[in-house]
Homo-oligomer: A and B are copies of this chain.
Amino acid sequence: MSEQELGITESKEYATGDWYAEVVQKAKLADYAPMGGFIVTRPRGYALWEALQDHLDGWFKETGVTNAYFPMFIPESFLEREKDIVEGFDPEVAWVTHGGHDELEERLAVRPTSESIIAPFMAEWTRSHRDLPLRLNQWCSVVRWEATETKPFFRTKEFLWQEGHTAHEDEDEAWDETMLRLDQYEQLFEDVLAIPVMRGRKPEHDKFPGAHTTTTVEALMPDGKSVQSATSHYLGTSFAEAFDLTYTDENEDEQVAHTTSWGLSWRSLGALIMTHSDDQGLVLPPTIAPTQVAIVPIWQEDTKDEVLEYAEEITDELEEAGISVELDDRDERNPGFKFNEHELNGVPVRFEIGPHEVDDEEITIVHRPDGESIVEDREDIAETAEEHFDDVYEKLYDAAEENLEENVREAESPPEILGTIGKHGGYVECGWCGDEACETVIKDEIAAEIVMCPLDRDEEPVHDECAICDDEAEETAYFARTY
Residues of A within 8 A of B (CB): 31, 33-35, 38-43, 45-47, 49-50, 66-73, 75, 78, 90-101, 108, 110, 117, 120-121, 124, 136, 140-141, 143, 145, 147, 157-158, 160
Contacts and interface: CB of A to CB of B under 8 A. Distances in A.
Contacts of A97: 95-98
Contact of A35 (B43, B75, B160): B75
A290 B369 CA distance: 42
Contacts of A93: 99-100
10 contacts: A33-B70, A34-B120, A35-B71, A39-B71, A40-B70, A41-B69, A50-B67, A72-B141, A94-B99, A94-B100
B99 A145 contact: yes
B71 A33 contact: yes
B67 A43 contact: yes
Contacts of A38: 71, 73
Most chain B CB inside 10 Å of its own CB: which residue of A31, A69, A121: A69
Contact of A94 (B90, B96, B117, B136): B96
Nearest to A107: B98
B91 A110 contact: no
B96 A95 contact: yes
Nearest to A57: B50
A68 B49 CA distance: 10
| Complex copy number for this chain | 2
Contact of A72 (B34, B43, B158): B158
A160 B69 contact: yes
B31 A121 contact: yes
A91 B100 contact: yes
A25 B183 CA distance: 35
Closest 7 CB pairs of A and B: A43-B66, A99-B145, A41-B69, A95-B98, A38-B71, A100-B145, A97-B97
Contacts of A101: 91
B136 A43 contact: yes
B31 A124 contact: yes
Given A40-B121, A100-B91, A46 B31 contact: no
Contact of A67 (B47, B117, B124): B47
Nearest to A28: B125
A20 B302 CA distance: 69
Nearest to A92: B100
A147 B90 CA distance: 28
A78 B160 CA distance: 23
Contacts of A110: 72, 96, 110
Nearest to A138: B46
A16 to B, nearest CB: 25
A71 B124 CA distance: 33
A98 B94 contact: yes
B96 A68 contact: no
A108 B35 contact: yes
Nearest to A38: B71
Nearest to A42: B68
A108 B94 CA distance: 10
A65 to B, nearest CB: 9
Contacts of A120: 34
Nearest to A89: B100
Contacts of A147: 100
A66 B50 CA distance: 11
Contacts of A157: 99
A93 B72 CA distance: 15
Most chain B beta carbons < 10 A, residue from A39, A43, A99, A140: A99
A158 B141 CA distance: 14
B71 A46 contact: no
A188 B39 CA distance: 32
Given A46-B68, A73-B158, 8 more contacts: A47-B66, A69-B141, A72-B158, A91-B100, A91-B101, A94-B99, A95-B97, A96-B96
Contacts of A66: 43, 46-47
Contacts of A42: 68
A184 to B, nearest CB: 19
Contacts of A41: 68-70
A52 to B, nearest CB: 13
A345 to B, nearest CB: 14
Contacts of A49: 69
Contacts of A75: 34-35
A40 B136 CA distance: 12
Contacts of A124: 31
